[in-house]
C-alpha cells in the first residue's frame, strides 16, 4: 500500500513534530523512510523541492528566540567561507543571553545579544542579517578570510554585465555594524578587514588575487571594470584590471576545464586582445606560496616594475589600519 503523501505545507523544508501533529500527521507516518530525523522534534522530507535555507526552518520554529547564525547563516547568504569551515555542516543556533544555550544533536549553540534589525526572516527562517553574520564570524576568521566573506556579501554588478547582481549587504552596513558593537569579540579583525573589502569579486580566489597584488608595489587592480568595443558596447568583463596599462586579469576556476568553457575563454581572450588589451589568465597555483607566481606574471605584463617586499597581515598605525603598501614606502631591490 503506497504511503500517504505529506501535506503540502510539510514538503517545503524542515518542520517540527508539533506542526505535523497540528496538520493531522501521526507519529507512524513521520517514521517512514521518506522522512529524515536530524534532531529531536525536527523532521525533514527527503524528496521535497525546498530551498537549502528552508531546511533550517524548524530549528527556529521550535521556540520564539532561536536564530540561525554564524557559518550556517553565511551559507544562506551565499557568503564565501574558508575551506576549513566549509567542511563543518553542523547547524549554528543562537538564543539571547537570557535564555539557555541550544543543546541538541548536530547543533552548535550560542548565546548572543542582538540589536533591532540584526535578526531577519528569510524563507521562513529566523536568521542574522548579512552584516551581523559577517561580524559574528570575525571572532573565528583571519583578516583575509573575513575580507573574502565581506567581498562575497557586497559584490554587485550593474546592467553592463551579462549577469547583473545585487549586493546582499553594503560596505556602509558593515561599517555601521562595527560601530554598533565596539566591544564585541573579533572587533580588531573586523576593523582590519573592513579596510580591504571591495565591491566586484565573485569568489574568494578573486579576492585573494586582488589582495596579493594590492600588497605589492604593483598596486591594487580595479574590480567591476568593463572593456568596451569600438561602438561603446560592453564586450569583456575581466575579474580585475589595470585600465591605464590595459591589462585584464581573469581567474580560471575549476569550471574552466569544461570544454565549452574552454572555447568561451579562447573567444574572450581573442576579443580582449583585438580591443588592444592584454589578458593574464590566473590559476589557483599562481596564488599559492610565500612568493605567488601571480606577482611575476603581472610584473612582466606591466613592464618589469621593480621587485619589492610584500605585506603579510595588515599592520596598524596611529592613523588606523594600513592594508596596502604605498609606493614611496617600498624599496626596490635587484
CA gap 169, 287 in Å, rounded: 27
User: 308 or 149: which carries more pLDDT confidence?
Assistant: 149
Question: How would you class 31 by CB atoms within 10 Å of its CB: exposed for 0-12, middle for 13-18, buried for 19 or more?
Answer: exposed
- Give the tens place of pLDDT for each residue, 249-258: 999 976 556 6
- Give the tens place of pLDDT for each residue, 233-285: 999 999 999 999 999 999 997 655 667 877 888 999 999 999 999 999 999 99
133: its cell numbers: 553574520
The arrangement of strands across the sheet holding 15-16 comes to: 15-16, 42-45, 35-39
pTM reported for the whole predicted model: 0.85
- Give the tens place of pLDDT for each residue, 184-229: 999 999 999 999 999 999 999 999 999 999 999 999 999 999 999 9
Amino acid at each position: 500500500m503506497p504511503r500517504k503523501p505529506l501535506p503540502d505545507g510539510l514538503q517545503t523544508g524542515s518542520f517540527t513534530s508539533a506542526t505535523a501533529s497540528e496538520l493531522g500527521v501521526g507519529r507512524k507516518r513521520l517514521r517512514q523512510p521518506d522522512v529524515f530525523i536530524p534532531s529531536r522534534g525536527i523532521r525533514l522530507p527527503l524528496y521535497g523541492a525546498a530551498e537549502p535555507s528552508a531546511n533550517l526552518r524548524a530549528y527556529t520554529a521550535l521556540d520564539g528566540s532561536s536564530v540561525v547564525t554564524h557559518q550556517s547563516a553565511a551559507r544562506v547568504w551565499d557568503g564565501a567561507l574558508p575551506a576549513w569551515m566549509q567542511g563543518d555542516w553542523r547547524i549554528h543556533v543562537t538564543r539571547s543571553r537570557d535564555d539557555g544555550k541550544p543543546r541538541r544533536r548536530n547543533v552548535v549553540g550560542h548565546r548572543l545579544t542582538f540589536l533591532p534589525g540584526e535578526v531577519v526572516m528569510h524563507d521562513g527562517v529566523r536568521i542574522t542579517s548579512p552584516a551581523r553574520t559577517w561580524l559574528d564570524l570575525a571572532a573565528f576568521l583571519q583578516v583575509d578570510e573575513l575580507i573574502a566573506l565581506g567581498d562575497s556579501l557586497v559584490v554587485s554588478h550593474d546592467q553592463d554585465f551579462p549577469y547583473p547582481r545585487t549586493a546582499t549587504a553594503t560596505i556602509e552596513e558593515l561599517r555601521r555594524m562595527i560601530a554598533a558593537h565596539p566591544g564585541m569579540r573579533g572587533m580588531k579583525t573586523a576593523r582590519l578587514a573592513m579596510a580591504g573589502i571591495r565591491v566586484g569579486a565573485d569568489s574568494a580566489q578573486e579576492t585573494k588575487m586582488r589582495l596579493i597584488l594590492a600588497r605589492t608595489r604593483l598596486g591594487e587592480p580595479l574590480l567591476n571594470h568593463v572593456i568596451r568595443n569600438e561602438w561603446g558596447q560592453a564586450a569583456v568583463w575581466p575579474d580585475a584590471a589595470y585600465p591605464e596599462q590595459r591589462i585584464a586579469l581573469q581567474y580560471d576556476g575549476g569550471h574552466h576545464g569544461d570544454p565549452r568553457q574552454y572555447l568561451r575563454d579562447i573567444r574572450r581572450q581573442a576579443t580582449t586582445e583585438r580591443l588592444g588589451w592584454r589578458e593574464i589568465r590566473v590559476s589557483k597555483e599562481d596564488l599559492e606560496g610565500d612568493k605567488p607566481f601571480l606577482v611575476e606574471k603581472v610584473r612582466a605584463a606591466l613592464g618589469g616594475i621593480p621587485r619589492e617586499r610584500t605585506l603579510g597581515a595588515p599592520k596598524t598605525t596611529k592613523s588606523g589600519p594600513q592594508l596596502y603598501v604605498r609606493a614611496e614606502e617600498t624599496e626596490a631591490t635587484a
